[in-house]
A and B are shown apart, each in its own frame.
Chain A
């Protein structure tokens, strides 16, 4: 089971999200995260789907997505050089005794504090899955009270070479 990041360009028409979601549920495929928003091109939306499965399943997912009539293009970014980012909001316990430590970690990760109260801070972090996973790990011991994630967005790198 591997995670693959799929970039799916679709006609922005009613029901298109339901077609994609229905494809996953109806065929028993797993979606890890899904993000969708309009592109610069009129009438076209971009979905970034992180899907889980072995190679054969991912191959089926890609083909089934392409088969949907409103799908314009599907790319498996896991097979290319790409940049991936997710934005996460975390509300963390930060009573007086812990506050300095929480803020130090926030600083190290170059996150932003976007809201504070006497015993909580809310931080905004952007990064790849590695960075976000590490931050969550570190903050867990203080107590994460709420989390909201955008899911990955991703893009193929312009130069497909190892830098």
Chain B
């Protein structure tokens, strides 16, 4: 069958099982848009390309499938860069299609020409400029394959306008052969046995679980290991939801805003089992004093993550799913002969004592609405059965601390890049994937204004996302740093000049609520969550509340500032 480039692209997407893409048209992709009505792939028209890429990312995080985004050349393409870097930092599988000027004009500073392949080289897993229609189908196939295999990530495909019009025989390859790309998936059995031996010898083991556990879908294996071998579990921001947040062995997040128990456990454990995590500076604090008493085992699919920030004793290159499954298989045989529970119980007691001494908490003695209280209420009302997206800042940390994630893929948050404006469009993408689920963006008053234009998209596409703004009138996280480390010099962080969010919601055709009294918080949230439309709930919270515990940047994990 002979088809045009534009037709081939859409056929490829259908073959990949893509049901929706998020995009914004322009001259360089108009030929593709011309074909969209004849395709089974639904297109959601956003209001800014940043919204499209974050929505594709949110869709990917919530479903575990590849998210897709389509934009035009030049400014359309550059508007996606923040979102691409966001997905790259968190290893999220998305494929971005950008239009490009016709091949003959490339390099001529043509109208709306940018070298998007050059611009995104450092923030994509890989990218392509399709120079020949004959390469198109193969390239799309590879793009999806690269995006979701190994350590996942964004892949960009740049499509010159004239290639979209060329005609060729369409044939979709059924498999990908790349001599240069062969990710290691299976763990080395010798290393696995070494880890089992270390686990048996350890008296104070700790699991440090990261986003890789969620990406690889190995939450069940992780949970089995934690519970059967009685090992306490701490998690990075990206890993929340892999191990049940309401389990007695779960210590909460570690690191800068981690719990007292988690950071003390890291400091005192004799074996640290890092799974799908990468020893980020927000996690380790001062690197030389991180886990000083521990033998460190590091499981990761990406060899560059291993030995990058800390020197580990036992590296295990494999995807978390195979590695944890192998560990499960090897330890299962020992359950009868070795009393793991008794062996680790004194340590579990110790860790739980720390958790009791300094639980996550806040001073709730005033009439003011505490932001942590709002997040607790959201958890109570939803009973954890919702998809939570967050913006960035204090709102993000409170959403991580005071909501218990019990299932994977239920927290959508920009961890590695910390992109304000991420949460709302990501929630939109997740809502499109799960129309019947409650999807909530826990937002800050600053961040929400960065992609607020997508209100129109959610309204007209009937995507009933709920935005709860923890409105403190500040760029709160930056203000917190100014308060603690810059003598309260609140330069450029007071944002009390803000729109009337209720009227704004209404102007877009959504529903708005404002809450100023503590007694109204629960009632209003309950009501808002029942509305079958997008909603903004503007909650006026205590303005100068801080996130605690806090390990100042560059300090050791034990140097926590507590409430």
Contact = CB atoms under 8 A, between A and B. Distances in A.
Interface of A: 10-11, 14-15, 18-19, 22, 26, 56, 59-60, 63-64, 66-67, 69-72
Interface stretch (B30-38, B121-129, B480-488): B121-129
Nearest to A10: B180
Contacts of A60: 304, 307-308
Contacts of B303: 63, 66-67
Nearest to A11: B180
A163 B179 CA distance: 35
B154 to A, nearest CB: 13
Contact of A64 (B117, B146, B304): B304
30 contacts: A10-B180, A11-B180, A14-B129, A14-B131, A15-B117, A15-B118, A18-B118, A19-B121, A22-B121, A22-B122, A26-B122, A56-B307, A56-B311, A59-B307, A60-B304, A60-B307, A60-B308, A63-B303, A64-B304, A66-B303, A67-B302, A67-B303, A67-B304, A69-B125, A69-B126, A69-B146, A69-B180, A70-B180, A71-B180, A72-B179
Given A14-B129, A56-B307, A59-B307, A72 B180 contact: yes
Interface string B114-143: 000110011001100101000000000000
Contacts of B302: 67
Contacts of A63: 303-304
B181 interface: yes
B305 to A, nearest CB: 9
A104 B177 CA distance: 57
Nearest to B118: A18
B121 A18 contact: yes
Nearest to A27: B122
Contacts of A71: 180
Question: What is the interface of chain A mostly: helix, strand, loop, or mixed?
Answer: helix
Nearest to A65: B304
A26 B180 CA distance: 22
A48 B303 CA distance: 22
Contacts of B126: 69
A14 B158 CA distance: 13
A113 B61 CA distance: 65
Interface in B310-348: 311
B544 to A, nearest CB: 38
A69 B126 CA distance: 7
Interface in B269-320: 302-304, 307-308, 311
B125 to A, nearest CB: 7
B121 A15 contact: yes
B215 to A, nearest CB: 17
B258 to A, nearest CB: 27
Given A26-B122, A67-B303, 8 more contacts: A15-B117, A19-B121, A60-B308, A66-B303, A67-B304, A69-B180, A70-B180, A72-B180
Contacts of B304: 60, 63-64, 67
Contacts of B178: 69
Nearest to A21: B121
B308 to A, nearest CB: 6
A115 to B, nearest CB: 36
Contacts of B311: 56
Contacts of A22: 121-122
B559 to A, nearest CB: 26
Contacts of A56: 307, 311
A9 to B, nearest CB: 9
A31 B473 CA distance: 48
Nearest to B122: A26
Nearest to A26: B122
Contacts of B146: 69
Nearest to A72: B180
B93 to A, nearest CB: 15
Nearest to A23: B122
Residue in A18, A19, A26, A67 with the greatest tally of chain B CB atoms within 10 Å: A67
Contacts of A11: 180
A72 B302 CA distance: 16
B313 to A, nearest CB: 15
A10 B178 CA distance: 12
Taking each of B126, B129, B303, which has the highest tally of chain A beta carbons within 10 Å of its own beta carbon? Answer: B303
Nearest to B117: A15
Contacts of A72: 179-180
A10 B378 CA distance: 52
B185 to A, nearest CB: 15
Contacts of A18: 118, 121
B507 to A, nearest CB: 43
B302 to A, nearest CB: 7
A56 B122 CA distance: 22
A60 B305 CA distance: 9
Interface in B94-124: 117-118, 121-122
A22 to B, nearest CB: 6
Top 9 A-B residue pairs of the complex, sorted by shortest distance between their CB atoms:
A69-B126, A63-B304, A72-B180, A63-B303, A26-B122, A67-B304, A64-B304, A70-B180, A69-B181
